[in-house]
Amino acid sequence: MFGMTAEVATVTTVVVVVTMAGWLLGGVDGRQPVLHRVGGGKYTWTTNINFTDWSIHEHFYVGDWLYFGFDKRIYNVLQVNKTSYDSCNENDFVFNVTRGGRDVFNLTQAKPYYFLSGRGFCFQGMKVAIFVEDSPPISSPKIANHSSSIQPLKPLSSLSLFITIAFTKFLLN
């Protein structure tokens, strides 16, 4: 029994390392990234949507994603600074999100993000400001009832748990 001490220590170390990696991938507080459908639907990056009203009813955290669904032949999505956002200036954009009309953008920092549609559509209200926070309060319950615009992403922590169990079984055999 005492001869297995080094092996048990190795297995314990591996389990701790893999579990910590899972926490880093999935978030230490257990919150998974969320996919926010901009405007609330599948193809709602368009005119006649109140994006300000939509965004103030959402909570955005680092690691979350924005989904822009639109007709790329008509619209585009440009990340801009606040000055360009306020004046609907598409010329000095920070990043062109537009790829295929079903495009995603990862919110990687706690800061305000500004997006608009060029080609004159910004003046028709196609712009949105997103205010990203570091993480939700630890005491807040997990989001149970998502609005139709929020989609939780598949949890990475389940994958790390599976890898931990499989690797542990492998080492013990």
Mean model confidence pLDDT for the chain: 77
* Residue pLDDT, tens place only, 147-165: 555 555 544 444 544 454 5
pTM above 0.75, yes or no: no
* Residue pLDDT, tens place only, 115-127: 999 999 999 999 9
Give the pLDDT band (50/70/90) at residue 135: confident
Most confidently modeled range among 36-50, 125-139, 159-173: 36-50
The b-or-e profile of 151-170 (16+ CB within 10 A means b, else e) is eeeebbeeebeeebeeeeee
User: What was the pLDDT predicted at 5?
Assistant: 52
Q: Where are the alpha helices (DSSP H) in 36-125?
A: 51-56, 82-87
Q: How far apart are CA 166 and CA 173, in angstroms?
A: 11
**Token pair for residue 2?**
């005492």
Comparison of pLDDT for 54 and 155, the residue scoring more:
54
Q: How far apart are CA 144 and CA 127, in angstroms?
A: 29
Q: Which among 25, 122, 33 has a CA at the least distance from the CA of 80?
A: 122
User: What was the pLDDT predicted at 90?
Assistant: 97
How many whole angstroms from its chain centre is CA 119? Answer: 27
Q: What is the mean pLDDT of residues 94-119?
A: 97
User: What was the pLDDT predicted at 31?
Assistant: 82
Q: Which among 169, 142, 153 has a CA at the least distance from the CA of 29?
A: 142
User: What was the pLDDT predicted at 144?
Assistant: 43
Is residue 32 within 8 Å of 153, Cβ to Cβ?
yes
